[in-house]
Amino acid sequence: MNGLIEDWESLPRVSIAWQTTSASGQPRADRAEAIPLARALAFPVRSRLIVTAADGYLLALTPKDVDSAYLAFLRGEYMLVFPGDTTRRRFVRQPVSFEQG
C-alpha cells in the first residue's frame, strides 16, 4: 500500500471491537486484531489524509480521524476500520493508497 512504512504488516496488533448498523437495522458486532493506522503511515499527517481504495472509493481524514483508524485483516483482505463509526460509512475495503490531502 502506498504511503505506509515498508514493514507495516509486522507492527504489533491490538484487539479492537466495533458494532455497526446493518441494512436491516440490526446491530452487527465484529472484532479483529488490527494495526493502528497512525503507526503504519510513512509520514505525519499535516492537515488531511486522502485514502484511496482499489475500487476507487475516496475518503478524507483529519489527523484526529487517523488516530482512531485501524487496518484490520478481514475475510482475506485489509480493511480500514473505525471502531467508533456505527454506520460503516467510512470503512474502506482494500485501501491501496494513503496521501497527504
Partner 1 sequence: MRIITPQQNLEDAVPSGGVLLPCTLHGAAVGAFLNPPPVCITDVYHRVLALLPRGRVMVIYIDGLGYDLYRRASLPFIRRTFDCTAARSVYPPLTQPCMASMLTGEVPDVHGIFTRRDHRPLVPSLLRVPGSVLIEGDCAPLSLEHPPVLTLPEPGETVDAAVLRAALPHAAGDAPLLIVHFHGLDDEEHHVGDDEKLLSGKLRELDEAVRKLCSAFAGTALLCADHGVHAENGAGAHGSFDYRDMFVPYGEATL
Contacting positions for partner 1 (CB under 8 A): 21-25, 27, 48, 50, 53, 55-62, 65, 86-90, 93, 101
Shortest spacing between CB 74 and partner 1, in angstroms:
12
The Cα-based distances of 37 to 3, 4, 68, 74, 90 in angstroms read 11, 9, 8, 15, 14
Nearest CA to 83 out of 39, 29, 22, 25 is that of 29
Q: Residue 78 CB, nearest distance to partner 1 (Å)? A: 14
CB closer to partner 1 out of 5 and 58:
58
